Amino acid sequence: MRFNSYFKKLFLFFAITVAALPLCAQKQYVSFSPDKKIKLIVSVTDSIRYELLYNQGQLISPSTVSLKTDFLKNKPFKISNTETKSVNQILSPVVRQKNKTIKDQYNELQLYSKEKIALIWRVYNNGIAWRWVVKDNRDYKIIKEIASFGFQNTDTSWYPLEDSFYSHNERTYKNLPLSEIGQNQLASLPALFSVKNGVKLLITESDLFNYAGMWIKGDGKGKISGVFPHYPKQKEITSDRDEKILSREDFIAKCNHPQEFPWRIIMIAPNDADLLSNQLVYQLASPSKGDFSWVQPGKVSWDWWNANNIFHVDFKAGINNDTYKYYIDFAAKYGLKYIVLDEGWSDTKDLLKTVPDINVQELCDYGKGKGVGVILWTTWLTLDQQLDKALDQFEKWGIKGIKVDFMQRDDQNMVNFYERVAKAAVQKKMLVDFHGAYKPTGMYRTYPNVITSEGVFGLENSKWDPQKRISPDHNVTLPFIRMVAGPMDYTPGAMLNAQKDSWAPIFNCPMSLGTRCHQLAMYVVFESPLEMLADSPTHYYAEPECMKFLKSVPSVWDTTIPLQAKVGEYVVIARKAANDNWYIGGMTNWTERDLNLNLSFLSSGKYNIQIWQDGINADRNAQDFKVIRSAVDNTSSLKVHLAPGGGVAAIISPEK
């Protein structure tokens, strides 16, 4: 009996010892957000896993991160030393997309290995981020990166489903449970997830340079993982705007110097409205260097969406100087900063060769006399081939910016093209609007002249989409997902508006789904420091009451305050302009609703308010609206009815 007892005790000792071995080998690091609500746990063994908690509830279960280089082979990440720091500073954006200043406060955990690789973590009050840093001067390749996110398969998503890595990233958002997101469900970023207790998590990235963009896939069990387009091996030019990738290398990127790789971001929003004020993409981006005081945001008259469909004029409308002088006159009358000459002004294969009826120098001179700048559209491929010569010529003409289109990729080659254009445009003091683009990743902080970008399923699609996807439902989803990543060139401003049963896609005379006030509200809700007026100037001239609002509303803001918000249902935002006027924009989906707007965000004193709201018949005729004027103060509340697909826009001015 004693013999058996002895061996039982010995067996138990060895069992406990063996079971404890992984725990002994594991190193665990914990970091909290400044307000202590978010807890990040990083565990290091032969692999690195992180866990994310909010108010002691698990948001992300233990999930793996790793970076494999060709010089590391399969060596595990062995920590040689660690550092921590806390930062609390104020950022002052060159271009004020949301706010004049941003509070940038976080705790940072730095993990260093002997192999000259570091893993940096930051924990904010509204999210976390991590990035890899390689401090090696040799030539090397990034073979693989693992960025995983452990959700529950019962969690849900707003998932921008894609067909392939070749994409404009113009997607609607599919409401999918995580159990339905498998290896074949590729998505671009940002993507939104709803987890325990309705907390929203948004995944995206920042500071993307000299690397490939991150996309995501699932495993059908709740795990989401980053995937990356590999470096192009063979390419073929197939048109004046397209380059086809025939094959790819077995690595993501090649590098020849120490490099900080992109931040992987998980934003945390206990309330839907919290997404509207999150600026982590900007905060995590590299700051700008040099003087960017010459960057001038503003509104723009755009020709392409309305197909130059102007009338009540004594000249033939089209791609000619008479038409664009008409745009310039319109812009000057209503205080618009720029006009765009979109596709058609030049030979698409030669930016130095204009079409016969366009004289760019004459238009620039005419615009300069009226305080209106000219922006030129180009395909990326032709611009890449003629970058120096084209920008030299544009500078001689007096061009203020370029709109670059059809990139449709974010592998390392294409990401480097973006930076090459941004840098070249800085030298010429030109703005850049990237169309056919991937999502913003903070370049608008590093290069503030990159003032906006597309990568959004925007109004232009209403010219041809019989599925009616550019709908109010979509419009009140965008602010919580795509817009959180950065400025979005949705191109609002339709003056021909229709309810669902009265709408049809008409390419040369397009209309929008939803009400007139739904469109007006976009100028407050949607963020783009280079905000377009997409419709025909002739239509705007016929709408003087709407133009009072569109003339007044700015494209940049000193203060942003979300008032009411629910993803895919409604959004109401108040924003303060530099002149101390406040603006309110509210939008609903196809559900009509009554809003009670509390004005307690106002300072003390008396104010005058003008409200553009849906008319009594807007449920039938979406162009019906009314304007109401009254006196208010910070104790006032406004009751506003929104029609199906409706909206409200308001200007609140201090009483003088």
Residue range 388-417, pLDDT digits in tens: 999 999 999 999 999 999 999 999 999 999
pLDDT at res. 74: 76
pLDDT at res. 6: 44
Residue 217 pairs in a beta bridge with 225
**Catalytic residue, candidates 205, 342, 405, 531:** 405
**Catalytic residue, candidates 303, 410, 433, 460:** 460
pLDDT at res. 7: 41
Q: Mean pLDDT score of the chain, rounded to an integer?
A: 95
Ranges assigned E (strand) in 415-558: 431-434, 450-453, 497-498, 512-513, 530-533
Average pLDDT in the 170-174 region? Answer: 98
Residue 85 gets the label, from left (phi > 0), alpha (psi -120 to 50) or beta, of beta
How far, in Å, are 97, 167, 266, 278, 426 from residue 443 at the CA level?
13, 20, 19, 16, 13
pLDDT at res. 73: 75
Catalytic residue flag (residue 357): no
Q: What is the CA radius of gyration of the chain?
A: 27
pLDDT at res. 77: 86
Distance between CA atoms of residues 390 and 421, nearest Å: 11
How far, in Å, are 42, 46, 212, 254, 619 from residue 69 at the CA level?
21, 16, 15, 10, 59
pLDDT at res. 20: 39
Distance between CA atoms of residues 13 and 6, nearest Å: 11
Reduced to 3 states (helix: H, G, I; strand: E, B; else coil), residue 306 is coil
Any idea what DSSP says for residue 324? H
How far, in Å, are 1, 474, 498 from residue 306 at the CA level?
95, 21, 16
Percent of the chain with pLDDT over 90: 93
Residue pLDDT, tens place only, 583-608? 999 999 999 999 999 999 999 999 99
How far, in Å, are 198, 583, 639 from residue 562 at the CA level?
18, 12, 17
Peptide bond into 190 cis (omega under 30): yes
- Give the predicted TM-score (pTM) of the model: 0.95
Average pLDDT in the 293-316 region? Answer: 98
- 439 residue type, one letter: K
Q: Which of 265, 234, 227, 262 is nearest to 248 (CA)?
A: 234
Burial of 197 (0-12, 13-18, 19+ CB in 10 A): exposed
> Are the beta carbons of 608 and 655 closer than 8 angstroms?
yes
Catalytic residue flag (residue 162): no
Q: Which of 579, 275, 287, 614 is nearest to 447 (CA)?
A: 287
Residue pLDDT, tens place only, 543-570? 999 999 999 999 999 999 999 999 999 9
Average pLDDT in the 482-499 region? Answer: 98
Distance between CA atoms of residues 614 and 526, nearest Å: 19
pLDDT at res. 76: 85
Categorize the per-residue pLDDT at 15 as very low, low, confident or very high, splitting at 50, 70 and 90. Answer: very low
